[in-house]
Structure 1
Amino acid sequence: MTQVNNDQIRQNVRIRYEEVALQNEQTTSCCSPNKLGSESPAAISAKMGYSSEELNAVPDGANLGLGCGNPQAIAGLQPGETVLDLGSGGGFDCFLAARQVGTTGKVIGVDMTPAMISKARQNAENASVSNVEFRLGEIEHLPVADQTVDVIISNCVINLSPNKVQVFHDAFRVLRSSGRLAISDIVTTAELPEPIKNDLKDLYTGCISGASSISELTQMLEQNGFVDIQIEPKEESKSFIRDWVPGGNIDDYIVSAVIQAVKP
C-alpha cells in the first residue's frame, strides 16, 4: 500500500471519528458502517463485555459505544502503573483504567482526531479526573517517551492503521521491560472478498477491511520483539458482528479477539 493510500486511509478514519465525536447521540458502533437503530452506547458496550458497574463509573459522554471487546478484562492493571490507550476516543477505557491504577498511577490516551481529544479532555475536566492525560497523535508515532509505560491497552483501533507493523514497533519502544499489551481487536478468520478488501472508506473505517489474520498479527508482534504472544478469538462476538453489515454474512470473515504479548 502506497504512502498516498496510507494517508488517505488515515484521513478517512479521522473524518469518520470526528463525526462520531461531534454527535450528541451515538447510535453507531465504531466497528460498523451502518446504523444500529436506537441502541444506546451503554447497550452496545454491554454486548462487548462491560459490566453495569463499569458503565456507570465513567463520566457522561465518555462512552461512545465504540469498540469490539473489553481490554480492561484482560489488562490486570495494578495500582501505580502507567497505562497507554491507543485510540482513546472519548476516554471510556482511560477512565476505567484510571480507577484501577489509582492516584499513584497514570493513564495516557492517544488519538489522532482533534475532536476526540477535545471531547475526552472535557470529560476529564467535568469529572475532575486528575490521573488521565489525553495527547493528540498517531498510534504509529506515539507522543510518548521511551520505556515509560507498563501496559498498553486498545479497543478495536489497531485494525484501522494502514501500518500495523509500525504500531507494534512504537508500542515496543514506549513499553518498559516486562511491559505488556492487552488489546481487543478484530481479526480475520477467512480471506476477505475483494470488494470488502478494496473498500477503503466505509468498510475500512468500520473496522472490517483493515483487519489482519492471527498469523499475520503474530508475525508482526514477533518481528518487533514481543514474546508470550496470545491471540484468542472470541466466537461469541459474532452475535454483534453480524449486525455490522446486515445481510452481508460478515461474521463468516471476521471475529473479535483478545491480543496479549510481553516486552522482554
Structure 2
Amino acid sequence: MINREEAIAKTKTIFNTASDYFDAPALSFWNRFGQQTIERLSLSSGEQVLDVCCGTGASAIPAAVRVGSNGKVLGIDIAESLLELARHKSQQQGLENIEFRYGDFENLGLKDESFDTVVCVFGIFFVPDMVAAVRELWRMVRPGGKLAITSWGKKVFEPANQIFWDAIKAERPDLYKNFTPWDRIADPASLQALLEAGGATQVEVFTEVGTHELACPEDWWTMVLGGGLRGTIDQLDPITKERIRKANIEFLRSNQINSLFVDVLYAIGQK
C-alpha cells in the first residue's frame, strides 16, 4: 500500500500547483458535480455541514446557500491555494456562514456526531486506506444525518483521457499509469461496499452518465493543467510537454470531438 504521508504530500503539491487553472471555465465540471451532490442531499435551513476535500468550494458554497444564515459549513482541504480561491469566492457572494480551513481530514480532531451532513466530492480516492477515511467521516455524522461521497465512474473525460496517457506512454513510459486512484470504486457496487465497510448504513448509489462540453480543443489541455494530471505534466521537460499538448489537441481537432464522456457516482448513506 502507498505510504499515507507520501500520498498526502503528493496530492497537496499537485493541487496547489493546479490552482492556477482549477477555476478556469473549461473546468466547469467541478461546480456542476459539486452542485449536483448538494442537490441530492436536500439540505435544510440551519444544518451543520462538513465538506472535506472541498477544493475551491464547488460543493461547500452551494451547501452554505442551502443551509442559510442559521446554518454553518466548514470546508477542509490540504491545498491552501485552493482554499484561498474558495474564501475569495464565498466573500464575493457575501456568505458569512462558511469557513474554509486547512487540514488533513483523517486527523481533524472534530467531535463525534457533530455534523448533520458530511460531504466528500472527488477526494476519497486520494487516501490509500479509503475504509479508514470513510469510518472517520461517518464518525462525525449525527444520528439521522447523511454522508455523501461523489466519485468518478468508468469513463472519465474519454476519449481525451486515453489519448493523453497514450502520448505519455510513447514519450515517457516511466510515467504511464495503468491504474488511477478511483478505479478501486469506479462501479456502484464497489462504492457501496466501501461506504458499508466504513460503517455507513442505508447506502444508496446513483449513477450519472453524461458528457462535458468543450468550447474548443484547447479546453482539454486547460483541464489537464487544472486537475490531477498536472502531477504528470510537471515531470516533463518543456519540449516533451509541448509535443504531448500538440498531439492531444490535434487528435481532438482532427476527429472533431467537442464533448467528452464522463461518468459520476453519487453515494449517500444515512445514519
**TM-score interval for Structure 1 and Structure 2 normalised by the shorter chain:** 0.5 to 0.7
Structure 2 residue aligned with 1:240, among 207, 212, 220?
212
Contact persistence 2:151–2:182 (CA under 8 A): no
2:19 aligned partner: 21
Secondary structure in structure 2 of the residue aligned to 1:260: strand
Contact persistence 2:30–2:58 (CA under 8 A): no
* Higher RCO, Cα 8 Å, sep 6+: 2
Q: 173-182 vs 210-219, which deviates more? A: 210-219
Matched, 1:71 2:37: yes
Secondary structure in structure 2 of the residue aligned to 1:227: coil
2:189 aligned partner: 215
Number of residue-to-residue matches in the alignment: 218
| Deviations 1:89-128 (CA, angstroms, capped at 9, x unpaired) | 1123212111110111000101011222233223334443
1:85 aligned partner: 51
Structure-2 change in CA distance of 1:41 and 1:216 (3 Å): closer
TM-score of the two chains, using structure 2 as the length reference: 0.66
Structure 2 residue aligned with 1:153, among 114, 119, 129?
119
TM-score of the two chains, using structure 1 as the length reference: 0.68
Structure 1 residue aligned with 2:75, among 109, 113, 121?
109
Alpha-carbon distance in 1 for matches of 2:73, 2:175 = 31
Q: Partner letter of residue 12 of structure 1?
A: K
- Structure 1 unaligned runs (5+)? 28-38, 50-66
Structure that is richer in helix per residue: 2
Alpha-carbon distance in 1 for matches of 2:185, 2:102 = 24
Aligned-pair distance for 1:80? 0.6
Alpha-carbon distance in 1 for matches of 2:90, 2:266 = 27
Alpha-carbon distance in 1 for matches of 2:178, 2:115 = 29
Contact persistence 1:203–1:209 (CA under 8 A): no
Matched, 1:257 2:257: no
Contact persistence 2:110–2:140 (CA under 8 A): yes
Structure 1 residue aligned with 2:151, among 179, 185, 196?
185
1:32 aligned partner: none
| Deviations 1:120-169 (CA, angstroms, capped at 9, x unpaired) | 22333444321001121123233422211001223222122222112211
- Structure 2 unaligned runs (5+)? 156-161, 167-172, 214-219, 225-247, 252-259
Structure-2 change in CA distance of 1:200 and 1:154 (3 Å): farther
Structure 2 residue aligned with 1:10, among 8, 11, 15?
8
Secondary structure in structure 1 of the residue aligned to 2:16: helix
Aligned-pair distance for 1:210? 5.8
Structure-2 change in CA distance of 1:205 and 1:8 (3 Å): farther
2:198 aligned partner: 224
Contact persistence 2:192–2:267 (CA under 8 A): no
% identical equivalent positions: 21
Aligned-pair distance for 1:83? 0.9
Structure-2 change in CA distance of 1:80 and 1:201 (3 Å): farther
Aligned-pair distance for 1:22? 3.7
Alpha-carbon distance in 2 for matches of 1:204, 1:260 = 29
Structure-2 change in CA distance of 1:2 and 1:204 (3 Å): same
Structure 2 residue aligned with 1:165, among 131, 143, 149?
131
- Which structure: larger Rg? 2
User: C-alpha root-mean-square deviation of aligned residues, in Å?
Assistant: 3.7
1:60 aligned partner: none
Contact persistence 1:188–1:214 (CA under 8 A): no
Alpha-carbon distance in 1 for matches of 2:49, 2:179 = 25
